[in-house]
Amino acid sequence: MEETRQFLLTYAQLGDLAATRRALVDGGLPQRARETRITIVKVIQQRLTRWTPPTWVYDDLATFAQDTYQPSLLTALLLHAVRQDTLLYDFVQHIIMPRWRSGEHTLVRADVQRFLDQAQPEHPEIDSWSHATREKLAGNMLSILRDYGLLRGREQKQIVEPTVPPPVADHLVRLLLAEGVSAEAVVEHPDWHIWLWEPRRIRAALTDLTRREAVS
């Protein structure tokens, strides 16, 4: 998390992704081994930039990174990490959100394995994966969601509702509108489920956004 924050703060200073990567690999991160710094930067770039977001997305994330008193960056990174990974997105939509709604908030690795079994018709590549590959993927999925605040715990994880500061909710609204989602459809969009939000909560956030825009 702190390495990601440093990546974004460096980007805010340099304004260029390639220059940011070089600066961090060349010593901008605290890790002593260059190979370790290369690996860390590669993982950060995969999570942040593989979908080639517009510049304003990076600018928003850099702004969130500057605020260490609010969970803005953590909540925004959860949003982007899940949106970029089809399996992770489906896991949130089909397993985590229904459990949250039902009041069942516990997850274990076996739940991910059952999800992978059920997901095979839509993701036929799963059928060719070895048991070791599936186990590693299950662990990675749960770790990402824990690192970004949607889960808590080690072996047995608890689903927890993230804190979403208004600027991060605004960020998602802008993302959806930029992707062609109509203003009327924003309230029903499943991306809100990444934060465990229901339409009532979404409408309140949209009303707040409209009010703040009117007085700005």
Whole-number pLDDT of residue 162: 95
- With the CA atoms of 21, 26, 28 and 34 taken in that order, what torsion angle do they form, in degrees rounded to the nearest 10? 100
Tokens coding 96: 């985590």
Q: For the chain, give the mean pLDDT.
A: 92
Mean pLDDT in residue range 110-125 = 93
In angstroms, the CA 7 to CA 179 distance is: 26
Whole-number pLDDT of residue 213: 81
Instruction: Put the strands of the sheet holding 151-152 in their side by side order.
Output: 106-107, 157-159, 151-152
Q: Check whether 179 has a pLDDT greater than 70.
A: yes
Which band of pLDDT confidence, cut at 50, 70 and 90, is reported for residue 147?
A: very high
Q: Check whether 52 has a pLDDT greater than 90.
A: no
Chain segment 1-23, per-residue pLDDT in tens: 789 999 999 999 999 999 999 99
Query: 70: buried, middle or exposed (CB in 10 Å: 19+, 13-18, 0-12)?
Result: middle
3-state secondary structure of 1: coil
Domain ranges for the chain = 2-66, 104-159
Q: Check whether 216 has a pLDDT greater than 80.
A: no
Mean pLDDT in residue range 184-192 = 96
Mean pLDDT in residue range 94-115 = 95
Per DSSP bridges, beta strands 157-159 and 151-152 are antiparallel
3-state secondary structure of 76: helix
In angstroms, the CA 130 to CA 185 distance is: 40
